[in-house]
A = this chain, B = another copy of it.
Amino acid sequence: MFRSMLKLQKKGLLRFTLLTLFFMNIVEAAGAVTAEEAMFTVNNTWMMVATFLVFIMHLGFATLESGLMRSKNTVNILFKNVAIVAIGLLTYAICGFNLMYPGDAWLLGKCFGFAGFGIEAPLGAAGLINYADGQYTYWTDFLFQGMFAATAATIVSGAVAERIKLHSFLIFSLLYVGLVYPIVGSWKWGGGWLDGIGFYDFAGSTLVHSVGGWAALAGVIVLGPRLGKYSSAGIKAIPGHNMPLATIGVFLLWLGWFGFNGGSVLSADPGKVSFVLVTTSLAAAAGIIGAMFTSDIVQKKPDLSMVLNGSLAGLVGITASADTVSVLSSIIIGGISGCLVVITVIFIDAKLKLDDPVGALSVHLVCGIWGTLAVGIFSQNPDHSVLIQLIGIIAYGLVSFVSAWVLFMGIKMILGIRVSAEEELRGLDIGEHAMEAYAGFQIFTND
């Protein structure tokens, strides 16, 4: 992607843009409009629309996760999803954006840089127009990237749900979204060392989904399973309490992915963006079909939550390569993702005995890795290689998992991380918030 470095290094373009700006000022005085100005405006408008779509993914996560959990923990998961958006945006404004896109301000090789606290348009009022290769404004850039940032923590929230302490989770999110996500993100999208060696991740199979997924894995290990999940009596299935809510979540996430992938073109380039939308949609569709067949065969009856996760699996899988593979490859990548998600949900639960209430490990971590590898396998660009992709996967895996594990362990030692058994049985809604999600409804006590 090479996002911010591009901005600084393309001196020629910058000069041209400055000239354009100068010219625009002249013709504006006469009331006229240039084609460059019109193109900048449509590019910026598209990026704002993409920002809205990524924003609505947070509602998608909130509804998907709460639908796949028990009703007694619904207020808690909704609360976390609302709080994460706020924490994500504010920390990104305070330091995240300038950690992720340090420009020239590298402090430690091309591994860590920081361009200072706060956000400010680079050249004042004029800078608003003159920013980012003439594609969109500084403010659009910040908001689009800020909406991405919060999704990494949201991925974690599903996996650790129904047993983590509210304040402990919020502090983890603050640190992971505010520091870890942008620092590792800078390695590729900020023009860091992985970008230098040719690692490719179009819209974040690794940078967003795996980075979230590795943290989810650390959280699941540190927390342990929900009470009663694995016992001598066997493995207890804990069904979600509201499938319409979960389905709303998946449709909204797919919708949001149009902005997540489509916006990652970083302009409204008609050919590129519309091609990305097609590969994205066909991968999601193939993920559904793949999960449907696999679930029908493995589980005898087609399971709605598997099919929902199949669509997300296809979307995560195509995210790294949406602009660089053929239409047919996108269907294959998505279809394999759909199969993978069903098999690994069962494997992680039954064999590894890792308790992930929403299947986030399969969707975001497994398919994030698969999608990143798929770049090396299916890309039409000969510069992409499986080996380099593997290096990136391992680097992100190590640093994300270790830092998340350290954060979770530190929080566990200082604040504690798990609610009491009594609170877990009664539900976190009463325990953490003194509220019920569905006041008035008769609900079976689900232990």
| A positions within 8 Å CB-CB of B | 12-13, 16, 31-46, 48-49, 51-53, 55-56, 58-59, 62-63, 66-67, 70-71, 74-75, 78-79, 81-83, 85-87, 89-90, 93, 118-121, 125, 128-129, 136-140, 142-143, 146, 166, 239-245, 247-248, 250-252, 254-255, 258, 262, 268-271, 273-275, 277-278, 281-282, 284-286, 288-289, 292, 299-305, 307-308, 311, 327-328, 331, 432-444, 446
Contacts and interface: CB of A to CB of B under 8 A. Distances in A.
Given A128-B270, A242-B437, A275-B139, A288 B31 contact: no
A288 B84 CA distance: 10
Nearest to A130: B271
Contacts of A240: 439
A143 B278 CA distance: 6
A305 B436 CA distance: 11
B250 A82 contact: yes
24 contacts: A16-B31, A38-B39, A42-B42, A44-B268, A44-B270, A44-B274, A56-B251, A58-B251, A59-B251, A78-B244, A82-B247, A86-B285, A86-B286, A86-B311, A93-B327, A120-B327, A138-B274, A139-B275, A139-B277, A239-B439, A243-B438, A441-B443, A442-B443, A442-B444
A303 B42 contact: no
Contacts of A299: 434
Contacts of A74: 243-244
A271 B24 CA distance: 14
Contacts of A439: 70, 239-241, 446
Contact of A248 (B59, B79, B143, B304): B59
A238 to B, nearest CB: 9
Most buried by B among A118, A146, A239, A438: A438
A268 B166 CA distance: 40
A208 to B, nearest CB: 19
A432 B242 contact: no
Most buried by B among A118, A245, A262, A274: A274
Contacts of A12: 31
A271 B86 contact: no
B271 A137 contact: yes
Nearest to A307: B82
